[in-house]
Amino acid sequence: MKPGTIIKGLFVILIMVLMAVLSFSNVSAEEKKAFKEGIIHMGTMTGMTGAYAGLGTWQMWGAMDRINYQNDELGGIEGHKIVHLWADMKTDVPTCMSLYKRWSKENPKPVEISVGHSSAIHALKPDFDRDEILSVTWNWNVPQIVPAGWLYWPMPGYADSMVAFGKWLKENWDYSKKGVPKVGYLRWDHPYGYSQAIIGNKYCEEQGWLKKIGEEIVPMGALNVTTQLTRLAAKNPDFIITSVLSSMSVALKDAKKMGLLDKIQFVAAVYDTGRPYLKAAGEAAEGVLGIFGCAFTNETTLPGISLMTKVFQKYHAPKTEIEDEFSYIVGWLISDTTIEATKRAIKKVGYEKMTNKDVRAAIESIKDYENGGITHPLTFGEGSEGRRGNKYSRICKAEKGAWKVISPWYEVPLLKGD
């Protein structure tokens, strides 16, 4: 090949490279122009390591995926990009406090910070109120919403969910032949466990739906529950309701070894319904009942579940299945609800004038908000009653490692205790 031809060839290649660089630069500039001036901070801290690791990662993915979808596919919130502040809080209250202190000083102030640690939520409630920062929480109990502050929750809590179980008993238990069903509890020494075994149980007993025969405290992460099961089994319960997270699978396997599963019906409450726990329990989980406040990922005809699944598969390929559906859905709902509230606030007062008080007013304006069937339509409002966006739960049954719906949606009251 002649030298002149080589030089011409190199020149053509150089031009092509320059055009590619310029093209890339133009695309980048266009991408930057896609968002308006001014960002929106949203914060998420979950336990991706430590005692909550099994569910914390899925919570984070749900929250993160909904935010990324809003930015990538919908152009942010009214054109403004969401900057997601996120961190592993290591299931540690001091870490949560430190993260909150740092994030709350961001400019602009975050419109919402969610904290995946119940004890930290309790500790931070005065800070959320003082700093006027919304928190759509991972669950709730009475001290979080009474008195009403800046904490909200899109589903029934532990106490309220017990009412769904009581209503299911009323419809399915043969009281004339078996008498009032006897119920025992395996729970943490924790406000959430208290809410279910004390407040929720009290309401159900007052209705004549069940009778409590005892409760046993299970340490978080317990690897053996035979002692607690032995004491409960001695009182001949018809049902044992668990609120112990990963120890739920331990309890089921221990119950199987003890020959209790043919005598006692186990019921998993709220986060204990995580499918990784079913998987860990293996055959011992077959037939377990669960109390659920949202849809399942196998209900693919629901538009919200269909969208969620597609978004998950986009951001987590080659994964195709949302393994811990409850935790992922909660994360998704927290971001979705915050995005909706922020969008309404911007539409009403404009981005430049929007304050966190406007976002709070906006979430309280949400009435019958459709999220594609993931939950019943959400309605928030003023006062403690308005802090819970959804008042419906239902009962499901474990079959071959997945949940199957066995009841209608039950409306449950907001239980505040004495």
Structure confidence by residue, pLDDT tens digits, 243-259:
998 899 999 999 999 99
The residue to which tokens 């002692």 are assigned: 227
Q: Rounded to whole angstroms, how far apart are CA atoms 187 and 197?
A: 8
Residue 355 pLDDT more than 80? yes
The pLDDT confidence band at residue 158, using thresholds 50, 70 and 90, is confident
38-60: average pLDDT: 91
pLDDT in tens, 305-327: 999 999 999 999 999 999 999 99
**Residue closest to 183 by CA, chosen among 230, 242, 251:** 242
Write down the pLDDT at residue 33.
Answer: 43
Q: Residue 17 class from Cβ within 10 Å (0-12 exposed, 13-18 middle, 19+ buried)?
A: exposed
Return all residues near 49 (Cβ < 8 A) that are at least 6 apart: 56, 88, 90, 91
Asked whether residue 20 carries a pLDDT value surpassing 60, the answer given is: no
> Containing H/E element for 9?
helix 3-33
* pLDDT confidence of residue 117: 83
What pLDDT band is residue 8 in, cutting at 50, 70 and 90? Answer: very low
Across the range 19-35, mean pLDDT stands at: 41
Q: What is the pLDDT of residue 17?
A: 38
Q: What is the mean pLDDT of residues 387-406?
A: 94
Asked whether the predicted pLDDT for residue 10 surpasses 80, the reply is: no
The tens digit of pLDDT for each residue in 123-148 reads: 899 999 999 999 998 777 777 777 88
Domains of the chain: 40-156+300-387 (3.40.50.2300), 158-292+397-411 (3.40.50.2300)
CA 119 to chain centre: 16
pTM of the model: 0.89
Give the phi and the psi of residue 134 in degrees, each rounded to 5. -70, 145
pLDDT of 86 reads: 98
pLDDT of residue 189: 85
Q: How far is it, in rounded angstroms, from Cα 275 to Cα 75?
A: 33
Q: Which string of DSSP letters, residue by residue, matches 64-94? A: HHHHHHHHHHH-SBTTBPEEEEEEE-TT-HH
Q: What separation in angstroms does the CA of 215 have from each of 7, 21, 136?
A: 85, 68, 30
DSSP-derived 3-state class of residue 402: strand
- The per-residue pLDDT of the chain, averaged, comes to 90
| Each residue's pLDDT tens digit, 373-394 | 999 999 999 998 899 999 999 9
**Average pLDDT in the 399-407 region?**
93
Give pLDDT, residue 69: 98
Is the pLDDT assigned to residue 15 strictly greater than 60?
A: no
The pLDDT > 70 percentage for the chain reads 91
Cβ(100)–Cβ(115) below 8 Å = yes
Quick check: 9 and 52 in contact, CB under 8 A?
A: no
Mean pLDDT of 29-43: 74
52 vs 287: which has the higher pLDDT: 287
- Give the model's confidence band at 217: pLDDT under 50 very low, under 70 low, under 90 confident, else very high: very high
In whole angstroms, what is the distance from residue 326 CA to residue 394 CA? 13
Query: Which of residues 383 and 179 earns the better pLDDT score?
Result: 179
Quick check: helix, strand or coil at residue 105? coil
